Structure 1
Amino acid sequence: MNNKNPISLFLIFLFIYPILKGFIKKYNTKDIKWELSEFEKSVSALLALIFGFLVFKNYFLVRENGIFTYIPQKVILVLDAYPWLLYVIVLPILGLFFYQIFHLTFLLVNSIILFPLLDIVERFLKNRSILFKRITGAIAELPKSMCNVVFFIFILNFASILNISPKLNTLLEESNIYTNLCKQIVIPVTNSKLAKALPNIVDNSFKVKIQDDNGIGTWEDIKKYKNISLNKNKQIVYYNGITLEEGIRSNEEINNYAKHITAGQNTDRAKARTLYAWIGSNINYDDDKAQQILNNDFSSKSGSIITFNTKKGICFDYACLYVSMSKAVGLKVRMVTGEGYNGISWVSHAWNQVYLEDEDKWINVDPTFYKGGNYFNSRRFELDHKNPKIIGEW
Structure 2
Amino acid sequence: MMSAWKDSVLDGNGITILLLLIVAFSLWQGWNRGASRSAGKLVFFLGDAVLRLVGLAISVPFTLWLSPKAGDWLGAASTLPNRELQFWEQIYYTALKSLADFPLLRFAVLFMLSYALIVFMLRLLVSLIIGSRMGVFGSRKETRASLPSRLAGAGIGAIMGAARSIIVIAILFIYVSLNPDHGFSRYVEASPVYQQGAQAVIEPLSGSLVKEKLPVFTQSVQNELNGIIQRKYEVIDHKIPEGIEQTAAHVVKEAATDEEKARKLYDWVGSRISYDHDKVTLYEEQRIWKEQTPQDTYDTRLGVCIDYARLYAMMARSQDLEVRVVTGRGYNGQGGYGPHAWNEVYLSEEKRWIPLDPTWAQSGNWFNPPRFNETHIKEQVF
Task: Output the TM-score relative to the length of structure 1.
Answer: 0.38
Whose helix fraction is larger, Structure 1's or Structure 2's?
Answer: 2
The structure number with the bigger radius of gyration is: 2
Task: Output the TM-score relative to the length of structure 2.
Answer: 0.39
